[in-house]
Amino acid sequence: MKIDLHIHTTASDGRATPTEIVRRASELGMKAIAITDHDSVEGIEEALAEARKFPKLLVIPGVELGAEVPHGERHILGYYVDHYSTEFCHKLEMLRNARATRGQKMISKLKNYGVVLNWDHVVNIAAGASIGRPHIAQALLERGYISSLQEAFNKYIGDNGPCYVVREKLGAIETVELIAKTGGLPVLAHPAETKKLNAVIEELKPAGLIGMEVYYKGYGKETRKRLMNLANKHGLVSCGGSDYHGFEDSGNEIGNCDVPQETIDHLIALQKDRHSKGGS
């Protein structure tokens, strides 16, 4: 039974709708998935509604937030977030607005390289979703400036690209606390390249961090072993997922990571514990 706790939909920068994701997961005979769109919980209700048709599939409501750190950003996943929380949704709206502002600035930078994009074109591609760099990449592809989506990142808008723009974000501790405050379970995403990872965990765990990704796409045996040892050292749940976006040239598929059943068992137990304490 496959498990995938890191999936994006059209509610942010994924290609497949929440309904399509749930149906695909069911077709693959999966045990559990988590919908974790960037700065958005807009796809959760649709996914949960579709999941009622597939009682063998567990769909966990989630989110992925980018946190500001010196010289970059850190991504935090939140599982079992309260997607009805007005305060939480308001914060997410602020973060999505920051994404839109960042996108407009990148388009301005692209002009310096002879690349002219129309902002309305990018908005139409996003179709109401949280605007991300993949939407700009798609616009570049449709205008013929690049031959693949990956080329957009390599040439223009990757983290080290000439047209990259840093967006306004919450701090890492603030992000973990925000997820925990809404009853969610904060998990450190794709941590293998994080510098001074042990120190990062020691900083975030008191704020509410409960897990970290160990079974992530592309992570080999040695990397998983190193991360698992660190997770065990700090009493964190070893999570993981494909970080699926659905782009044809990524070679990625839902459930391509060997996330064990015990991960789901731990998350469910933690969620029930927090729910019971919140209701007491």
Confidence of residue 49 (pLDDT cuts 50, 70, 90): very high
Mean predicted confidence (pLDDT) in 67-77: 83
Confidence of residue 249 (pLDDT cuts 50, 70, 90): low
Asked if residue 25 is part of any domain, the answer here is: yes
Query: What is the identity of the amino acid at 156?
Result: Y
* Phi, psi at 161, each rounded to 5°: -75, 160
Q: What angle do CA 267, 81, 271 make, to 5 degrees?
A: 30
Write out pLDDT tens, residues 125-173.
Answer: 988 777 889 899 999 999 999 999 999 999 999 988 999 998 778 899 9
Asked if residue 121 is part of any domain, the answer here is: no
Domain that includes residue 263, residue range: 3-85+184-278
133-142 vs 119-126: helix crossing angle, rounded to 10? 110
Confidence of residue 237 (pLDDT cuts 50, 70, 90): very high
Asked if residue 176 is part of any domain, the answer here is: no
Q: Which of 79, 50, 70, 87 is nearest to 211 (CA)?
A: 79
Q: Supply the pLDDT for residue 212.
A: 98
Mean predicted confidence (pLDDT) in 197-212: 96
Residues 6+ apart with CB under 8 A from 2: 28, 29, 30, 31, 254, 255, 259
Mean pLDDT of the chain: 92
Asked if residue 37 is part of any domain, the answer here is: yes
Asked if residue 112 is part of any domain, the answer here is: no
Q: Where are the alpha helices (DSSP H) in 60-118?
A: 86-111
Q: Tell if the pTM clears 0.75, that is, is over it.
A: yes
Coil, strand or helix: which one is 32? strand
CB 5 within 8 A of CB 33: yes
CATH number of the domain at 41, please. 3.20.20.140
The DSSP secondary-structure symbol of 249 reads G
CB 61 within 8 A of CB 48: yes
Asked if residue 226 is part of any domain, the answer here is: yes
Asked if residue 97 is part of any domain, the answer here is: no
- Residue 10 to residue 12: CA distance in whole angstroms: 5
Domain count, the chain: 1
Mean predicted confidence (pLDDT) in 166-195: 93
Coil, strand or helix: which one is 41? coil
- What would the two tokens of residue 97 be? 């607005």
Q: Supply the pLDDT for residue 193.
A: 87
SS3 content of the chain, % helix, strand, coil (to 5): 45, 15, 40
Asked if residue 162 is part of any domain, the answer here is: no
